[in-house]
Amino acid sequence: MESSTRSNPTIQFPLNLNSTTTTHDLYGKRKVIDEMDFFAHNKDSHGGGQPIAVDDGDGKPNRTVTNFSGPPSVLDFNVNTGLHLLTAPNTAGSDESIVDDGISSNSDAKRAKTEMAVLHAEMERIDSENKRLKEMLNQMTNNYNGLHMHLLTLMQHQNDHIHSGEEHKNGNGNGVLVPRQFMDLGLAVGKDKDGVSLSSSKGRSGRHPPSPIDIEREDLSPENKIPRLSSDHSPQSVDQVTEATIRKARVSVRARSEAPMITDGCQWRKYGQKMAKGNPCPRAYYRCTMAAGCPVRKQVQRCAEDRTILINTYEGNHNHPLPPTAMAMASTTSSAARMLLSGSMPSADGLMNSNFLARTLLPCSSSMATLSASAPFPTVTLDLTESPNPLQHQRAPSNQFPIPFTNTQQNPSAALLPQIFSQALYNQSKFSGVQMSQDMDQGTHQMKQGQQSQLSDTVNALATDPNFATALAAAITSLIGGSYPNNGNNNTTNVDTSVNNNNGNVTTSKQ
């Protein structure tokens, strides 16, 4: 049905950091060298870090080097390929070439053997260098994610002030927004206001003796997840209903990746795997292990139509502090949950009120998000697989609404986009994620201001760092240039990353 088998055979962005396969082609080195492409700075000169055949003079390319040459940058990692250590028989005047000239083939074989050994060692060294660079890039990406998240939060606060007049009209007297009633719930996942487990209903299975973990698990039991809307409308029951439903709301992220999982900053433990109907690929179930009893879970499954597409579905709110990268995703899921429930919780058709559309329909969008009311659970789907996808519209059921969301980058990494989307969600839900809600829970505007100030300080400190913009540019360039080689940019891909020192805004734009 889906003709998504676009001529896209080489989505080989090495997100698969675990790739240790030894399948070599041609020269037996291509595998390792290809990973270097991840860090290619420009794609116009030599095809973007493509392996470059180096002729030793015999007319046959017998070794490859990766083009690290890019625009001279502060971010020069000083990658020493070390290839100068090799013998250079093609070099006129080389001692070795003189010695070898005219010598027996036996000597040539020895030399070749030695060279092979050297090359092998060199490959290993480059591989380790590659890994180190990847770690650096990951760290940089994480830093960027965190910073971006903070910025989004700050911008949201500004929006809050702008919309404050309108919101006060909603009038529950104390100026508390309707969606805000959900904010505390994210904090108290698994516990009621007395700190007691909400597991009021029966356990889902009588097999297990009660344990602290089981108590937490009971919160996740279907009975709690989909509480029945009884006639009991006491505040506590309403809270429980809301919380349970929030936990059921899901955010699904579709992204192309060869890796088994999309790195989202959290630690996950696999607790199950199932064959889902209609999909030959198994669905894996993961649980967040960053804190004991964290209710967040995710499902990972490859798309049946296009197995290069990885579908990550997140559910729940973290009950613990998060690293910046993880916070982005967490904010996305929690915001999505609240967005889905705010406005008109029982009526799926009411999800998309005009207010939401007005705030989220932003220009310059490329990636698509859809809200699904038809799924068993309210689900937000982010499609990061390509630019605006006509198939997406065709496939979307009548009750799914494609939502372009602000994204000025063509196709940033899967780790970056959720937080951008979260901003759109956040605009609607007035919720900034678990950590922010912890502060807001203090209930004072001063706290908000204090945090803004603190964040601003952090942002400005980073923004004034002359290395930061360059590092950020390089990281994003690598991500974009490496992760989506088929986005029609096998030519030059320039990313202009500028840091506005005045307001701390970090903007990235692809030229």
The binding site for DNA (CB under 7 A) comprises 202-208, 217, 220, 222-223, 226, 267-278, 283-285, 289, 297, 299, 376
> Which residue bears the tokens 């990973």?
35
Please answer whether residues 31 and 130 qualify as being in contact, where contact means their C-beta atoms are separated by less than 8 angstroms: no
Q: Which is nearer to DNA, 219 or 386 (CB)?
A: 219
CB of 142 to DNA, least distance (A): 19
Strand locations in 250-339, DSSP E?
A: 250-256, 268-275, 282-288, 297-302, 309-315
Residue with tokens 């903070």: 150
Residue 464: DSSP 8-state = T
113: Cα within 13 Å, side-chain hemisphere: 6
Residue 387 amino acid letter:
S
If the CB atoms of residues 175 and 397 are measured against DNA, the closer one turns out to be 397
Residue 249 or 476: which CB sits closer to DNA? 249
Provide, rounded to whole angstroms, the least separation between the CB of residue 263 and DNA.
13
For residue 304, the minimal CB distance to DNA (Å) is: 11
Encoded tokens for 336: 């999505």
Distance in Å, CB of 302 to DNA, minimum: 14
Question: Is 258 in contact with 11 (CB distance < 8 Å)?
Answer: yes
Contact partners, residue 302, CB within 8 Å, separation at least 6: 279, 281, 308, 309, 310, 311
The β-bridge relationship of strands 250-256 and 379-383 is: parallel
d(CA 482, CA 15) in angstroms, rounded, equals: 9
Written as one string, the DSSP assignment of 397-429 is -TTEEEEEEE--SSS--TTTHHHHHHHHHHHHH
Closest to 267 in 3D by CA, of 326, 335, 219, 315: 326
Long-range contact list for 496-501, CB < 8 A, 24+ apart? Answer: 497/469, 497/472, 497/473, 498/469, 499/462, 499/463, 499/468, 499/469, 499/472, 500/463, 501/460, 501/463, 501/464
- Smallest separation (angstroms) from DNA to the CB of 202: 7
